[in-house]
Amino acid sequence: MTNWQLVVGSVALGGATYLTLQRALSRPENHAPGPAGWPLVGNTFQVPQTKIWRYFEKLGYEHGPIFRLSLAGDEILVLNDPADAEELLHRRSSNYSSRKSLVYAGHYQSQNKRLVLLPYGTELKNQRAAFYQMLQPRVIGSYERMQELESTKLLFDMLTRPLEVDMNAKRYAASLVFTLSYGKRLADDDEDLKAVIDILDKFIQGCYPGAHLVDTFPFLDKILPDFLAPWRAEARQKHENEMKARFLVARLVLEVKQKVDDGRTDLECFAARLWEQQEKFNLDLVTLSYIAGSAFEAGTGATGGTILWFIMAMIMFPDALKRAQDEVDSVVGTDGETIPTFEHLDRLPYCVALTKETFRWMPATPGGFPHYSDHDDEYKGLKIKANTMVIPCIWSMQHNPDRFPNPLTFDPERFLANGDMTSSGSSLFTEGHYGLGFGRRICPGRYLGSTSAWIGITRLIWAFNIGPALDDAGKPIPVDPEKCTSGITSQVFLPL
Ligand code: HEM
């Protein structure tokens, strides 16, 4: 251990002792139930590193739908019941719409500009307003041609590069949002895409609880000089790299600005709209780059991940694929001349239900995004302290057998039967499941993401028979939905 690590470790231990004692002394009597923790570290070492949502589900059965955990100084409240999430995160959203401030990824790496990490306040409101302009239901229809074009490319990629299913799905999602953000398509070589995925992965890793000591003990940042706080230089360097990297670069948004200044009126992209409204939303170059980049980062993993979970579902539940193919054939015919488009949406209810069931069965963000409370509150007789991380566990909500019988079975029929298909227009895909979040932090890309998933899925159903890969002896290689990543987005591993 180096000297600075020893010093930082001692300071952290002292700080943790202080924090724990302070919290123990001030702990409200009626706090939510939860597993007993250890002195100083609370439940830190009981929480598994993988598939935290399964742990939340188990604790729900033991302690009830609302329970608390303490992670080395962080107070956490987990909500397994959507009614509680609706009440706290939606109806009481003035108190539960912040995010815990992350010193490393938020303050230094993102210069407090990355939407997904922003605390509640003016910056967040401005950025969400800008997002809303681009992604609200009224304008979303104008992206249908672009979604159809990119989903045709998805079919081409699957046909010509069948062993690269994972990259094909990510490319589809990334290219959609790239076009939306910058008004031009992602270059056709994988280098761009890999660079983007690399930045995304690193950023997400940096947000994990425990990834950086300073986020567990933020006071370290206030008291330590630079030579004992190596995270500052490291995270600032990452910020510099992000500003140079392909998708966040000032270069991309500056290119768009040049076109706007040249009087191009045909530019239908996020960056162009942002430049036009630079003053209204008080946007400098860094902010503008981060907003356009946020769409890109947040939209790629979840949409691509949903397509991959769909493929896994079709391998495991071939009857659902057959039924969907029959529906598509009955609408567009079997001669291969007509490809499904958004114009067929109303006549393909099973494909809509199948898309919703994909969001439910294996949600792309199963653990949910933590919201953060600003003030003390009381709910159902329980005291919820200010600065509590409130986590709506999407997995538990969507796998409650009372609401969704046989929850691990992929069954689109449940959406056709339970009346969740009655909404029309924009909420058709967003109702009846919880995979898009809650309250004032609900996913701003939900209409684009869900319709992109639908057209991609429906066209894959139209174009392909989907089955397991075969080994050298011609035997099917079994798939296992338990083999997935455990990050903020959960991605499945498909053996090929
Ligand atoms: C089907 C695909 C998608 C899924 C399943 C999904 C899911 C989610 C979820 C669960 C959240 C957290 C909400 C909360 O905190 O309560 C979120 C946030 C977010 N999503 Fe999506 N998303 C998808 C597509 C997209 C797309 C296409 C975009 C952009 C074009 C996008 C942009 C964002 C942003 C910027 C946030 C952060 C919002 C904030 O912190 O205020 N998402 N998404």
Mean pLDDT of the chain, nearest integer: 88
- Ligand 1 and 299: CB distance under 6 A: yes
Ligand 1 neighbour 19 (Cβ under 6 A): no
Predicted confidence (pLDDT) at residue 2 exceeds the cutoff of 70: no
Closest alpha carbon to 131 in 9, 291, 290:
291
Q: Has residue 217 got a pLDDT over 90? A: no
Give the C-alpha separation, 246 to 140, whole Å: 26
Q: How remote is the CA of residue 299 from the centroid of ligand 1, in Å?
A: 7
Please tell me if the CB atom of residue 370 comes closer than 6 angstroms to any atom of ligand 1. no
| Residue 246 or 428, more confident | 428
Return the pLDDT at 186: 83
Of 27 and 67, more confident: 67
445 CA distance to ligand 1 middle (Å): 6
Instruction: Please work out whether the CB of residue 298 comes within 6 Å of at least one atom of ligand 1.
Output: yes
Measured from the Cα of 124, ligand 1's closest atom is 41
Give the residue numbers of the binding site.
Answer: 443
Query: Is the pLDDT confidence value at 5 over 50?
Result: no
- Say whether 85 sits in a helix, a strand or coil: helix
- Reduced to 3 states (helix: H, G, I; strand: E, B; else coil), residue 443 is coil
Q: Give φ, ψ of 64 to 5 degrees.
A: 100, 175
pLDDT at 24 over 60: no
For residue 246, pLDDT beyond 60:
no
If you take atom 1 of ligand 1, which residue's CA is the nearest one?
449
pLDDT higher than 50, residue 6: no
Ligand 1 centroid to 495 CA: how many Å?
28
What's the CA-to-centroid distance between 224 and ligand 1, angstroms? 35
Q: Does 165 have pLDDT greater than 80?
A: yes
Residue nearest atom 41 of ligand 1, based on CA coordinates: 441
CA dihedral 122, 128, 134, 136 (to 10 degrees): -130
For the segment 208-231, the average pLDDT, to the nearest whole number, is 87
Decide whether any atom of ligand 1 lies within 6 Å of the 294 Cβ. Answer: yes
Q: Which of residues 6 and 122 earns the better pLDDT score?
A: 122
| Ligand 1 center–CA 298 separation, angstroms | 6
Minimum-distance ligand 1 atom for the alpha carbon of 128 = 41
Q: Is the CB of 117 under 6 A from ligand 1?
A: no
For the beta carbon of residue 3, count every other beta carbon within 10 angstroms.
Answer: 8
Kindly tell me if the per-residue pLDDT of 485 is higher than 70: yes
Count of all residues that appear for the chain in the document: 496
At residue 213's C-alpha, the angle toward residues 209 and 218, to 5°, is 90
- C-beta of 453 in contact with ligand 1 (< 6 A): yes
Give 398's pLDDT tier (boundaries 50, 70, 90): very high
H-helix or E-strand spanning residue 447: helix 446-463
> What region does 406 belong to: left with phi over 0, alpha with psi -120 to 50, or beta?
left
**What confidence score (pLDDT) does residue 134 get?**
86
Q: What is the largest CA-CA distance in the chain?
A: 73
CB contact at 8 A, 48 and 55 = yes
Q: Nearest C-alpha to atom 13 of ligand 1 is from which residue?
A: 437
Confidence tier at 25 by pLDDT (50, 70, 90): very low
Distance 368 CA to ligand 1 centre (A): 10
pTM above 0.85, yes or no: yes
Atom of ligand 1 nearest to the CA of 134: 30
Q: Is 291 in the pocket of ligand 1 (CB under 6 A)?
A: no
Answer whether 358 contacts ligand 1 (Cβ < 6 A).
no
207 burial (CB, 10 Å; 0-12 / 13-18 / 19+) is: buried
Cβ–Cβ < 8 Å for 58, 371? no
pLDDT higher than threshold 50 for residue 11: no
C-beta of 367 in contact with ligand 1 (< 6 A): no
Query: Residue 424 has what pLDDT?
Result: 63
18 has a pLDDT exceeding 60: no
Each residue's pLDDT tens digit, 77-100: 999 999 999 999 999 999 999 999
In whole angstroms, how large is the CA radius of gyration of the chain?
23
Any ligand 1 atom below 6 A from CB of 445: yes
User: What pLDDT, in 10s, does the model give residues 453-473?
Assistant: 999 999 999 999 999 999 999
Mean pLDDT of all residues in 101-117? 91
Is residue 130 in contact with ligand 1, taking CB distance under 6 Å?
no
354 band by pLDDT with thresholds 50, 70 and 90: very high
Q: Between 230-244 and 190-207, two packed helices, what is the crossing angle to 10 degrees?
A: 150
Q: Which residues are annotated as a binding site for heme?
A: 443
Structure confidence at residue 164 (pLDDT): 92
Compare 390 and 281 and report the one with higher pLDDT. Answer: 390
- Alpha-carbon distance of 78 to 54, in angstroms, equals 12
Q: Is 71 in the pocket of ligand 1 (CB under 6 A)?
A: no
- The whole-number pLDDT of residue 419 equals 66
Average pLDDT over residues 355-363: 97
Give residue 209's pLDDT band: very low, low, confident or very high (50, 70, 90): low
Buried b (16+ CB within 10 A) or exposed e, 273-283: bbbeeeeebeb
Q: Is the dihedral of CA 443, 445, 450, 453 positive or negative?
A: negative
Per-residue confidence band for 10, with pLDDT thresholds at 50, 70 and 90 = very low
pLDDT classification of 421: cutoffs 50, 70, 90: low
| Ligand 1 binding pocket mutation candidate from 78, 443, 452, 491 (most atoms within 8 A of CB) | 443
pLDDT-derived band at 290, boundaries 50, 70, 90 = confident
Bridge pairing between strands 377-379 and 74-79: unpaired
In this model, does residue 20 exceed pLDDT 60?
A: no
Q: How far is the CA of 26 from the centre of ligand 1 (A)?
A: 35
- Asked whether 115 lines ligand 1 (CB < 6 A), one says yes
- Ligand 1 centre to CA of 476 (Å) is 35
Residue identified by tokens 């490809």 is 339
Average pLDDT on 237-251 reads: 72
Q: Which protein residue's CA is at the shortest distance from atom 21 of ligand 1?
A: 443
Q: What is the pLDDT of residue 211?
A: 78
Give yes or no for residue 423 having a pLDDT over 50: yes
How far, in Å, is the centroid of ligand 1 from the Cα of 408? 24
Percent of the chain with pLDDT over 90: 59
